[in-house]
Amino acid sequence: MTRWLLPLLLLAACDDQGSVHTTPSGAGVETAPRPPAPPSNAPRPDETETPPTTIVHDGPDDLEDIADHSEEHAGKCAPVDPDLKPMQVLRFKFTSKVKNREGVDKLSVLRPGQRVYAHLTMRNRSGYDRCLHLTFRVNGKQRTALTLGIGKSWSWRTWAFNTVRDDERGFLELEVKDDQGKLVLRERLAIVPDPGR
C-alpha cells in the first residue's frame, strides 16, 4: 500500500496548474489556478511603462461652446494638492499634421487659413490621472480653450488644433496650464501671409 501512496503524492505535488493539490495526509485541497511566474528580468509593477495613449482633440472655434466643452473632461483632473509631483513636458511642437500619433513637421510660421496642431508628449508620474488646460489666442484674443486628460504614464502623447482665419495676421499663442493652475508651456507662432499670393 505504501508503494502506491508515495508515487501518487509526488505526482499530485508536481501539479503546476493549481487545480487540486494533495497534502501529505491525502486530503484534496482545491485552489485557484496560479498565474505563470513573470520572467526574472521583468520590470516591477511600479516600473512598467504605460503604452503611449493618444487623445485627438479639437476644441471649439466658437467661444460660446468653450465652458461646456471643458466641463466634459473635468473628471480627469487631479485634486488640488501643493505636494503633487508636477508633470513634465518631454516634447512639444507646432505641426501642420499628425500621423501615426506624431507631428509630421515643425512649423516656424503659420499661414492665414491654415490649421495648426499643438502636439505634446507628457510624463505624468504623480500617481493620479491629470489634465491640461489649453488656450489658443490669436493676437491676444482667446480663440479656443479645451481640456485634455493625461493618464499615468512615462510618455503620453496628445494634441489639439486650431484653424487660423483667412484674414488673420499677427501671431498665434498657446498657453498650457496643469490642473493645479501652474503654467506648463507658453509658445507663439507668427501668422505670415504666403509671399506667393
Q: Which residues pair with 162 in a beta bridge?
A: 116
Band (pLDDT 50/70/90 cuts) for residue 29 is very low
DSSP 147-162: EEEE-SEEEEEEEEEE
Q: How far apart are CA 173 and CA 28, in angstroms?
A: 71
Is the confidence at residue 20, as pLDDT, over 70?
no
Band (pLDDT 50/70/90 cuts) for residue 196 is confident
Q: What is the pLDDT of residues 102-122, one digit of tens each?
A: 999 999 999 999 999 999 999
Band (pLDDT 50/70/90 cuts) for residue 172 is very high
Intra-chain end-to-end CA distance of the chain, in Å: 100
Full-model pTM: 0.63
Band (pLDDT 50/70/90 cuts) for residue 151 is very high
> pLDDT value at position 185?
97
- Which domains does the chain show, CATH number per domain? 1-37 (no CATH), 45-191 (2.60.40.10)
Band (pLDDT 50/70/90 cuts) for residue 195 is confident
Band (pLDDT 50/70/90 cuts) for residue 1 is low
Average pLDDT over residues 176-187: 97
Q: How far apart are CA 176 and CA 16, in angstroms?
A: 53
